[in-house]
């Protein structure tokens, strides 16, 4: 398997190990497979496969330069007892006619764990494979969940350290506590006075800062990324789309070859892109429905073909989706543009310069073939949490509620009866304030950990293992910096000065 940059020549390729260790391409683009393999996939053999088996399959297709034994060892380590469900990513039975694919049973209670329990294994083994003799600095921007999940995944992993930048007032109390309390000597979270887009933009700049790169090299250090800009984040996510299909087959909810839909609560477009890649690898997906919150730049994009980031930014009750520049859309654009990287580079330059771009009719037709889109505002989210709990006794977190609300609207409007899997991205206990408020109409007495107890009492259930663990850990002191100072802060943390 060879990888290329979305903005670079098709002849300039890297093996997967190099792409994963490097994170971002030098030209600012993102790594994508040069050609997707066309695996000889017998769909009926997916019936009843485990997530681990689905991962084995996907890694054999997309990371074939790592020896099979190393891939296997990585998967075994990633999907073990740190999950509070032996199925790792269980699919519910029908709830209101649809299925929820629960991706939140890992240590930080959000879907990022699926990829970030595996990525550190893949990255350190890849580094060995290519003979890297430097320490890897994982530089991460987070809207909340990637921070905690990457810190947990890389905690005390030899040869790595993690620096996470998060918006000071843009993450939930539980997310904040997770980031500040994950144990590990190699982890540093930093708050910035700005939003996620500021964090992400500056992290990208630091990545491409040649002077800084040279300073790192003299200290035997090298950057990599645990954001979904790293192809090593997307590859593990492809597996659960196959797993979900296999579960539906095993339960005779579908027959081999039947199409299914997936609705994905979307921010940086990583999760849903993994679904698109699953389709390219042969999974019969009819439609991928891109669900956004009030920051509905993607809804407008899919409906009109115009991407316009010049709009008001909202801090909502689904903070991990509060994003105006969805990085991974760039990867989809390369497909929409028939592999023309110059076209992608032009559109990205235009986005940077003018704040918007417009795809052409052919590109739009390509997008329409695979995607639909919708959004839900904060009030709708609360109503959806309330409704689904009242009708089906099934509890949604606000991100999943965005998707769930979008699905209802989509199904009513389109009449599309294809079996629907709603990708469920966080535990309701991770956002107890909104969930409690949605159920009772009352505010919690105190946000954060006390709110978890209050929600638990309301529901009369035991806390899942990962939620209970939150109460045993103390916070580090908080470090805050201005966006413009991120470089200096980083130099300080890494002792470059
Ligand atoms: C990160 C995240 C999302 C958005 O996923 P993307 O891959 O960025 O589109 C949605 N929900 C939750 C809970 C998340 O943590």
* Substitution site in 226, 240, 321 for ligand 1 pocket (most atoms within 8 Å of beta carbon): 321
d(CA 352, CA 415): 38
* Residue 414, pLDDT above cutoff 90: yes
**Pocket flag, ligand 1, residue 270 (CB < 6 Å):** yes
d(CA 184, CA 273): 31
Percent of the chain surpassing pLDDT 70: 100
Q: Provide the pLDDT for residue 115.
A: 98
* Substitution site in 100, 234, 267, 332 for ligand 1 pocket (most atoms within 8 Å of beta carbon): 267
Q: Provide the pLDDT for residue 360.
A: 98
* Residue 171, pLDDT above cutoff 90: no
Q: Provide the pLDDT for residue 143.
A: 80
Phi and psi at residue 342, to the nearest 5°: -65, -40
**Pocket flag, ligand 1, residue 110 (CB < 6 Å):** yes
CB 224 within 8 A of CB 213: no
Cα end-to-end span (Å), the chain: 40
**Pocket flag, ligand 1, residue 428 (CB < 6 Å):** no
Average pLDDT over residues 196-215: 91
Mean pLDDT of the chain, nearest integer: 96
Q: Provide the pLDDT for residue 110.
A: 94
Which residues lie below 8 Å from residue 457, measured CB to CB, with a gap of 6+?
A: none
Q: Provide the pLDDT for residue 425.
A: 98
**Pocket flag, ligand 1, residue 112 (CB < 6 Å):** yes
* Residue 204, pLDDT above cutoff 90: no
CB 429 within 8 A of CB 463: yes
* Residue 58, pLDDT above cutoff 90: yes
Average pLDDT over residues 475-482: 93
Q: Provide the pLDDT for residue 200.
A: 87
Question: What DSSP assignment string belongs to 135-203?
Answer: EEEEEEE-SSHHHHHHHHHHTT-TTEEEEEEEETTSS-HHHHHHHHH---TTEEEEEESS-HHHHHHHH
| Of 37, 38, 31, nearest in space to 15 by CA | 31
| Of 373, 248, 237, nearest in space to 303 by CA | 373
Q: Which of 345-359, 373-387, 407-421, 459-473 has the least mean pLDDT?
A: 459-473
CB 29 within 8 A of CB 6: yes
d(CA 183, CA 2): 36
d(CA 64, CA 220): 28
* Residue 465, pLDDT above cutoff 90: no
* Residue 36, pLDDT above cutoff 90: yes
CB 13 within 8 A of CB 2: yes
* Residue 180, pLDDT above cutoff 90: yes
Q: How far is the centre of ligand 1, averaged over its atoms, from the C-alpha of 219 (Å)? A: 34
Q: Provide the pLDDT for residue 497.
A: 84
3-state secondary structure of 19: helix
d(CA 261, CA 418): 6
Q: Provide the pLDDT for residue 342.
A: 97
**Pocket flag, ligand 1, residue 425 (CB < 6 Å):** yes
Q: Provide the pLDDT for residue 260.
A: 98
DSSP designation for 69: H
Q: Provide the pLDDT for residue 196.
A: 85
Instruction: Kindly report, residue by residue over 277-327, the tens digit of the pLDDT.
Output: 999 999 999 999 999 999 999 999 999 999 999 999 998 999 999 999 999
Angle between helices 68-78 and 119-129 (to 10 degrees): 150
Which residues lie below 8 Å from residue 338, measured CB to CB, with a gap of 6+?
A: none
Average pLDDT over residues 397-404: 98
* Residue 107, pLDDT above cutoff 90: yes
**Pocket flag, ligand 1, residue 267 (CB < 6 Å):** yes
Q: Percent helix, strand and coil across the chain, each rounded to 5?
A: 50, 15, 35
Q: How far is the centre of ligand 1, averaged over its atoms, from the C-alpha of 271 (Å)? A: 7
Length of the chain: 497
d(CA 144, CA 383): 23
pLDDT band per the 50, 70, 90 thresholds, residue 136? very high
155: exposed, middle or buried (C-beta count within 10 Å: 0-12, 13-18, 19+)? middle
Paired with 308 in beta bridges are 356
Distance set, CA 235 to CA 185, 239, 338 (Å) = 28, 7, 21
**Pocket flag, ligand 1, residue 145 (CB < 6 Å):** yes
Q: Provide the pLDDT for residue 197.
A: 85
3-state secondary structure 396-444: CCHHHHHHHHHHHHHHHHHCCCCCEEEEECECHHHCHHHHHHHHHCCCC
* Residue 144, pLDDT above cutoff 90: no
* Residue 170, pLDDT above cutoff 90: no
| Of 477, 452, 451, 446, nearest in space to 466 by CA | 452
Closest atom of ligand 1 relative to the 400 alpha carbon: 11
């Amino acid at each position: 398997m060879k990888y290329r940059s979305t903005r670079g020549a098709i002849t300039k390729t890297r093996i997967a190990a190099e792409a994963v260790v490097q994170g971002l391409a030098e030209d600012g683009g993102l790594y994508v497979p040069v050609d997707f393999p066309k695996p000889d996939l017998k769909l009926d053999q997916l019936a009843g496969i485990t997530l681990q088996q689905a991962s084995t399959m996907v890694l054999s297709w997309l990371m074939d330069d790592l020896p099979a034994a190393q891939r296997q060892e990585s998967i075994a380590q990633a999907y073990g007892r740190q999950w509070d469900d032996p199925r790792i990513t269980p699919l519910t039975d029908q709830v209101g006619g649809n299925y929820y694919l629960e991706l939140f049973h890992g240590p930080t209670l959000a879907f990022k764990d699926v990829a970030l329990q595996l990525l550190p294994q893949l990255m350190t083994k890849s580094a060995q494979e290519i003979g890297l003799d430097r320490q890897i600095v994982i530089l991460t921007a987070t809207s909340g969940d990637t921070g905690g999940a990457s810190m947990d995944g890389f905690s005390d992993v030899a040869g790595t350290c993690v620096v996470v930048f998060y918006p000071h007032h843009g993450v939930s109390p539980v997310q904040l506590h997770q980031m500040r309390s994950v144990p590990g000597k190699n982890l540093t979270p930093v708050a910035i006075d700005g939003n996620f887009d500021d964090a992400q933009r500056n992290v990208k700049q630091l990545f491409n800062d040649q002077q800084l790169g040279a300073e790192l090299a003299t200290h035997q250090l090298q950057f990599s990324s645990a954001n979904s800009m790293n192809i090593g984040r997307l590859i593990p996510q492809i597996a659960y789309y196959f797993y979900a299909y296999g579960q539906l087959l095993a339960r005779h909810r579908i027959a081999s070859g039947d199409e299914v839909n997936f609705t994905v609560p979307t921010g940086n477009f990583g999760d849903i892109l993994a679904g698109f890649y699953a389709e390219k690898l042969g999974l019969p997906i009819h439609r991928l429905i891109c669900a956004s919150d009030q920051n509905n730049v993607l809804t407008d994009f899919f409906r009109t073909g115009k991407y316009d980031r010049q709009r008001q930014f909202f801090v909502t009750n689904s903070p991990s989706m509060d994003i105006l520049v969805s990085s991974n859309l760039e990867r989809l654009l390369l497909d929409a543009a028939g592999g023309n990287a110059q076209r992608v580079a032009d559109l990205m330059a235009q986005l940077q310069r003018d704040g918007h771009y417009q795809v052409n009719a052919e590109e739009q037709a390509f997008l329409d073939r695979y995607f639909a889109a919708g959004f839900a505002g904060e009030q709708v989210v609360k109503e959806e949490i309330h409704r689904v709990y009242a009708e089906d006794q099934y509890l949604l977190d606000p991100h999943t509620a965005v998707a769930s609300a979008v699905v209802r609207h989509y199904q009513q409007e389109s009449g599309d009866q294809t079996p629907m899997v709603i990708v469920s991205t966080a535990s309701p206990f991770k956002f107890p304030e909104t969930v409690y408020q949605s159920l009772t109409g009352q505010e919690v007495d105190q946000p954060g950990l006390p709110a978890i107890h209050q929600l638990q009492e309301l529901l009369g259930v035991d806390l899942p293992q990962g939620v209970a663990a939150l109460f045993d850990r103390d916070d580090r002191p908080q470090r805050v910096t201005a966006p413009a100072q991120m470089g200096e802060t980083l130099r300080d943390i890494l002792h470059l000065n």
